[in-house]
Chain A
Amino acid sequence: MQSLQIKERDARLSFDGGDKLGALNAVWEILKESPRSPVASLGFKICRETHDPIEADRLRKFLEEQQAFNDQSKLDWVMVQLSLGFGEAAQSEIRELTASDKSIAFRLHVAKSLAARGYEVARHASDSQLKPNPPEIDLELLRDRLRTIRDSTSTSKSGSETALVAPEGRLNLGGLNLESNNVQMLAESARAHGVARNLEGLRQLYSQYRDASVIGQRGYFMTVVLKSTSVIANAKVEEEASPDELLKCVSFAELVFGDILESRYRLNGHQFAPMIETHLSAQLPRSAHKYLRWAMRSEDLSFQFHLWPFMRYLKRKGDVDGLLAFSLDCEEMGLVPDAHAVALICRELNRANRASESWAVLQKTQSATSARDSHVLMVALETLAALDRGHEMLSYLQRSTNNFVPDARAFGLIVDYFFSRKRFREALEILNVAERAGSVDAYLEYRLALTQVQLGDWNPLSDLIPRVGSLNVSPYDLFDVLEVLRTNQKHELYEGLCEQVKIITRRGDQALAADFGRTMEAQLIKQLFGNDTRMSSSTLQLLRELSPNSPIIRIGEQVTQSRESESTSSESSKPLDELLKHSTELSDEQLERLFVAASAALKILPALSLFKELIRRGLGNSWHLGTLLSDFVRHLPPEDLERIYDSYKASITGLEERSHRILFNLLAKAYRHAGRRVDVERLIAQMRSLGIQEDDFTLREQLEISSVKPSNVGLALTASGSLDFEALCRVLDDLRHEMSHFIAQLSLRLQAIGDSVGESSHPGVVVGVREALELTRKFSQRIEGYSDIADPNISGLCEVSDTLAKVLKECEMTAQSRGVSLVSNIAPQKYWVAINEYGLKTVVQNLIDNALTELKTNAPQHPRIRVSVLAPKQHRVGDLVSISIRDNGGGITEDMEEQIFTRGFTTRSGHGFGLGLALVRSVVESADGTIQLVRDGQPGAHFLIQFRLCEGPSD
């Protein structure tokens, strides 16, 4: 009996430690000895978690045969069915379990399990992104169960009438005579609402409860409602629900929490944790923190309850600093996080490559937390490994485990550390220590054998392989062994291991067989490429059993046949040709594997043809081509590099244009691999040779490659043959950003001088400062104009006549200097339009600038620009006011008319970006105005801009 208990404990420990397969084997051993052992529940649980209905069914049949399929086992079986999506099949068992001949206590146990498992089912579905297991199924079952219980207890009339609101409406429980049970029923119903993500239902249930006056254990029910609310809030986050819905959850939780406070129920972590969780779900970390601090200040609390949601939140956010700060907070308040919390903080720090801080946290909390806790111990070892302090790992392990035998997993970590660094002798020493300590599990035995292999001794592995099938090990560890045997050409051992794999997969589940199938496919491909006939026939044999439908089998068989028929021939390319012939029949995944194998085997031509197939299927990308060529390009001199590039370019000619881009990227990468400075000019030449000069994508690539050096940007822009407006805006925005720093500094210093110098004592300085500030303002306006090209900000009002007068005054001097007469015809009336002064000035100034340039190029005898405002007949809001700008230069030809407002179009050869008129139209249209080029038979260009009149400012 004693030994059975120890075995049960060991099975549970294996399960907790993540070794589910080991735990299941242990369960089977126990059940064979004692079929009525409660460990059967663990067996079903393992099946549920490993999604293995076949194993669960085997377990059920075994228990039935042994007449040990009791009510608890039936319930466990139901749980498996529900978890794995066989809700319908479980109906009859649920009816049976909740039938009236069962005790109320058992029926409540069933109810509770259903609600709780319903939650797990829903969570699992969303975690693994499977088809969501509709909570309605579980709810349906719950309703069913509630009805059954109601019917069976309706004879008991004493006690108060209590209403229970179930999801479909009200269910009268007809007076269960157990107050505590009533509360439990309500609580189960609340949980079910949580599973169903039904906040409204939960609200109704709660309000119904609040109306009911007699009920026991109020705090318990309210706490369950709080928890269900947090479950709903969490689910809403996963559903990406609107913030409003989350806020509803928060306000409901606040209401319930307030009720709990009012009822003077003693608060503990059970109330604080859901409050914190709900607030965090609603993205209200500040409020959550408030509850956390409240909880921390409270006495009589189990600390971890409220600690966990907050830590999980910080972990989800990836906020390692937050976690660290939080642990310091705890320390300040005299609280020490438990071992799990310490492990979580340190593990996150390790992940963020901050192992030294992680070590500091471990040291600080060592005295308070139980260093013997396996979580902390493992994290400490991980930290030491990350700090590259491998030799301290063993002494730490010995120090921390004075009173008990260290866990084999801990030894495994240390061994892995040395093994991965190819320090096999040290790994062997650790393995010997583990052996002496009696802590060698199957994994360590593997490691021991593989370490010996690395040290040249194949005997331990030879001894191990025939026993593999009977060892309690994870079959996934065998993948490494297969690879080691293949690369070392150990045919006999390989064949032996294949036999063992058959044994293991026969007793395992389908998923395991499928995983092994995929691994063996990869092995077979590699062996076919390596012309390894003997190994490939063993692999083929195994693969036939594991994945009989795999197309790789047929290919392998054909390759083997063709080899046999041409056994005298030494042509090694034949099998490859055979392989490639069938490449179109392969799945995407298999094709990719084949391609990687070909690349790894440096079979470049086959790999290239596989690459073509990948491209044809829309799968080929630069990663594939990079895989193909990476080993080649790395150490080659530039000349060879370019030659290779040219040869592959030629090979892929004829494929879609995308591959050109891939090649282009590849060349850039190749340059980098070879440690060469990227030569933008050369890349541009290559790009041109591929016929993709006007490709924005490539241009952007170049801009990235050139590290945005102004000269390179200019080169890239010019060479592209077309102006990428986006790229130009980016450059201008950068320029504006840089300049604005100087302007700000200059302005602040000028203002400071103005402040410190009195006007009376230094009047000249004050005036000078004012003028300098004015110049700075003008300069800043000009700089802002750069960003307004992409994003003009013109909202506001301005008066047309005044603004035009200002613009004309500013342009007058330039016009005079060029001998151009600037004529204006502006009415004195006030015309308010919906564009700010800056916007209107931009429009008019640009048009006048254009006219001035044109008149300089094609100067008539009397160059002239006329600006006039054409007043509306009536001065009403909504009427059109027109601004006419006309010059008497060469004008705009009809063929150019379509293009002049296009960004990038310019008539000035070698000068200008062609942005002026594009900007003008953008500004005018943003203000709901129009601009047109008028053709009235007169010489020169005539632009007409129209805006609608609007109400002027009231003052």
Chain B
Amino acid sequence: MTELIKTVVVLDDEAAMIDALRIRFEIRGWRIRHYLDAKSFAESEFHSVEAAVFIVDHDLGNGVIGYDIVRELRQTRPDGLALPVVYLTGRESEKSYLERRLEKPNLRPSCFVSKSRVAHVDLLEICADLLAHFQEVLDQEQSQALRRAAAQVAARAPSEDAF
């Protein structure tokens, strides 16, 4: 079976960082779309329906915060709540991230990676896992929707007694 091309979408205000991520992912056959600012990211990605992993920097400059972009992303896209998102940040510690997560449970983050910890983890593997899980969720939803539709059709069909 042919494996689908995996996609990663990167939002970071540093071109060098995007470049490093691009090399890392493209070598392993991933497709990468990248944005330097939140506006162009929103324009292109908020209304897309393609399955992808989102890598979002926390501090996007000019006071724009990654969390806010992701919240909007989740609210706008139909599959928003299940979207796999990796927060990549050089600023916050994991502890403060967890606190924030407790404060805003509907943020539903997928994963948090501090930039200084990139050497300790394999970002590529993390993204692959997240994407696989996301596909599972979508498949489940789809099959549930099919079941619901089937049940509705069955309910509408005339019973045998009617004939």
Contacts and interface: CB of A to CB of B under 8 A. Distances in A.
Interface of A: 285-286, 733, 736-741, 743-752, 755-756, 773, 776-777, 780, 783-784, 787-788, 791, 793
Contacts of B27: 752, 755-756
A839 B154 CA distance: 62
Nearest to A774: B119
13 contacts: A741-B90, A743-B115, A744-B17, A744-B20, A744-B88, A744-B119, A745-B17, A748-B23, A749-B20, A749-B23, A752-B27, A780-B120, A791-B93
Interface in B59-98: 59, 75-76, 80, 88, 90-91, 93-96
Interface string B113-153: 01111111011100000000000000000000000000000
A793 B94 contact: yes
A736 B117 CA distance: 12
A787 B19 CA distance: 27
B24 interface: yes
| 4 tightest A-B CB contacts, nearest first | A740-B90, A740-B116, A747-B119, A740-B115
Contacts of A741: 14, 16-17, 90, 115
A309 B119 CA distance: 49
A777 B124 CA distance: 17
B32 interface: no
A286 B116 contact: no
A787 B115 CA distance: 13
Contacts of A751: 24, 122, 124
A749 B28 CA distance: 13
A330 to B, nearest CB: 15
Nearest to B14: A741
Contacts, number: 82
Nearest to B81: A286
B21 interface: yes
Contacts of A743: 115-116, 118-119
A588 to B, nearest CB: 35
A746 B95 CA distance: 25
Contacts of A776: 119
A108 to B, nearest CB: 43
Nearest to A783: B116
A793 B93 CA distance: 8
A752 B88 CA distance: 18
A776 B120 CA distance: 9
B24 A733 contact: no
A286 B118 contact: no
Interface residues of B, number: 31
Interface centre among A736, A747, A776, by most chain B C-beta atoms within 10 angstroms, is A747
B128 to A, nearest CB: 13
B116 A744 contact: yes
Given A750-B119, A788-B93, 13 more contacts: A286-B75, A736-B90, A736-B116, A738-B90, A741-B90, A743-B119, A744-B88, A744-B90, A744-B115, A745-B16, A745-B17, A745-B20, A783-B116
Interface of B: 14, 16-17, 19-21, 23-24, 27-28, 59, 75-76, 80, 88, 90-91, 93-96, 114-120, 122-124
B9 to A, nearest CB: 16
A283 to B, nearest CB: 9
Given A743-B119, A777-B120, A780-B117, A737 B90 contact: yes
Given A286-B75, A744-B88, A780 B20 contact: no
Contacts of B118: 743-744, 747-748, 780
Contacts of B16: 741, 745
Nearest to B94: A793
Contacts of A791: 93, 95-96
A931 B120 CA distance: 31
A736 B115 CA distance: 10
B2 to A, nearest CB: 21
A778 to B, nearest CB: 9
Contacts of B96: 791
Contacts of A752: 20, 23-24, 27
A761 B17 CA distance: 29
A286 B108 CA distance: 15
B26 to A, nearest CB: 9
A738 B91 CA distance: 9
B152 to A, nearest CB: 15
Given A780-B119, A784-B116, A286 B80 contact: yes
A737 B91 contact: yes
Nearest to A780: B116
Nearest to A788: B93
Interface centre among A741, A777, A788, by most chain B C-beta atoms within 10 angstroms, is A741
A164 B91 CA distance: 60
Contact of A733 (B20, B21, B91): B91
Contacts of A773: 119
Contacts of A749: 20, 23-24
Contacts of A793: 93-95
Contacts of B117: 780, 784
Contacts of A286: 75-76, 80
Interface centre among A736, A745, A784, by most chain B C-beta atoms within 10 angstroms, is A745
Contacts of B94: 793
A661 B14 CA distance: 39
Interface centre among B24, B27, B115, by most chain A C-beta atoms within 10 angstroms, is B115
Contacts of A755: 24, 27-28
A115 to B, nearest CB: 35
Contacts of A738: 90
Interface centre among A741, A744, A780, by most chain B C-beta atoms within 10 angstroms, is A744
Interface centre among B14, B27, B94, by most chain A C-beta atoms within 10 angstroms, is B27
A751 B119 CA distance: 8
A777 B119 contact: yes
Contacts of B14: 741
A775 to B, nearest CB: 9
A783 B118 CA distance: 13
A285 B75 contact: yes
Nearest to A756: B27
A750 B27 CA distance: 12
A746 B124 CA distance: 15
A910 B103 CA distance: 43
Contacts of B75: 285-286
Contacts of A787: 93
A748 B91 contact: no
Nearest to A733: B91
A762 B122 CA distance: 21
Interface centre among A285, A286, A750, A791, by most chain B C-beta atoms within 10 angstroms, is A286
A660 to B, nearest CB: 32
A9 B94 CA distance: 66
B25 to A, nearest CB: 9
A791 B124 CA distance: 29
B35 to A, nearest CB: 16
A777 B122 CA distance: 12
Given A740-B90, A741-B90, A791-B95, A748 B120 contact: no
Contact of B114 (A285, A740, A748): A740
Contacts of B21: 748
A748 B20 contact: yes
Given A286-B80, A744-B90, A755-B27, A739 B116 contact: yes
A780 B115 CA distance: 9
A739 to B, nearest CB: 7
B44 to A, nearest CB: 14
A500 B146 CA distance: 80
Contacts of B124: 751
Nearest to B117: A780
